[in-house]
Structure 1
Amino acid sequence: MQLLPDIYQLSGSLAGLGGDQILGPWDECNSYLVDGGSSYILIDAGNGENIGLIFKRMEMWGLDPDKISTLFLTHAHWDHAGGARLFKDRGVEILSSKETADSVASADHRCAGFLYHREMTPVTVDRIVGDGEIVSIDALEFEAIHLPGHTLGCMAYLLTFEDRRILFSGDVIGTLGWGDFGWDGSVDFDKQRYIASLFKLQGIPFDVLLPGHGMGSYTDPVKRVNISLNQALIQWR
């Protein structure tokens, strides 16, 4: 579904793709597409099991799957990165943090395939991005923001688009409709780093929050950050 001009949600339970596995809406992430003009940029690959339906959906909207040039991974969990190898095989360049790159290359328990009774397919990331790094694609600029905690490699991506600052947060925040933090069962989960990341995110201005699961927030999205931080301080200290 189209969320904003030239920004689409390709998968996720609220987009009608996902929710068929043992953990319901958490088996497939929200995968986003940004139309950069000459090429498309994806935020997260999804688990890979719905890629055919994703391509059919794109074609219904007049979007050519062959124009996908770049894939940003927010983290290594199977529901976000399980399909990365399929895009790699189509010639798509994959970008992520170093920690995420290490995890998806080894396809070990950091990818949490066990949570879904699935095995992660190993994939090699093409470009490592660091905290604060700007990635320019077509006329667009994405800022990478390292927010470890949910996993050690969690990266959000901030896009300024038509005077809006749009944050693709992955699972750092926004898993449910009212704002919260992601699953705390990952083998590289870290409570104190998570709290520090939420404090960091609290200081970053943005206008739209597009999370890894659940609904986006277009009105006062920073409030969802505050709710998440408050809950983390209550539950984890």
Structure 2
Amino acid sequence: MLKWYKAEKVGTLENLAKKAGVPSLDMYMFNHHHPIIFTVGTRGNFDIAVSSGAMGLFDASELEVMLAREFGHVLNDDVPMNTIVALFAGSLASVSTLALWGALLGGFGQDFDPAPRFIRFLGMGLVAVPSSLIAQLTLSPSRELLADAVSVELTNEPQLLAETLEHVQEYIKHYPIPLNPGHVHMFPLNLLSLEEFYDIHLSLFNTHPDMDIRVRNILGKVN
């Protein structure tokens, strides 16, 4: 996954690791406009990757509560399954991108023209169900609620976490960018944006709880 996103190591996360009581995790950065953060690894070796978009959008406190969520996934043993699902589901979902490029290289016009988008739609139609089922059948939405709870426990900033997640959700609405839908379960919230008919398959890949439920759950931790 780190190679997929061309991530490069930039340091370690020792302070949060000490709070969480786990070995220090390496931190990687990669170039992407979306505020993406995810944790990958198996057999106890885990790394956290942060996009350039996340570094630009979050201030230091916001970044800390979001990174603390990733330690929640480590503590709750979500990371190995998340990683395996991302590799399989992401590889299947890539078929639609290959179909799009095949259409463009075949002379069907630009990526915003109807013909290549329809070919991409057909390609995704073939792989969306098996690809999304991998995520839907193996991953529980509750893992995000538990990761949120760990962030609150480690940082004691429930209000900041709730506001940061809501900020990201609003950001996605205004700045939609194509993503591999087979990877979205690894991100802090659903970053897929349904802009038109051709995106309808993307709804199958959402494994995150509704934001209203998450916010109530986060703020309820201190009541």
RCO higher in structure (CA 8 A, sep ≥6) = 2
The higher radius of gyration belongs to 2
TM-score norm. by structure 1 comes to 0.31
Q: Which has the higher helix share?
A: 2
Q: Which has the higher strand share?
A: 1
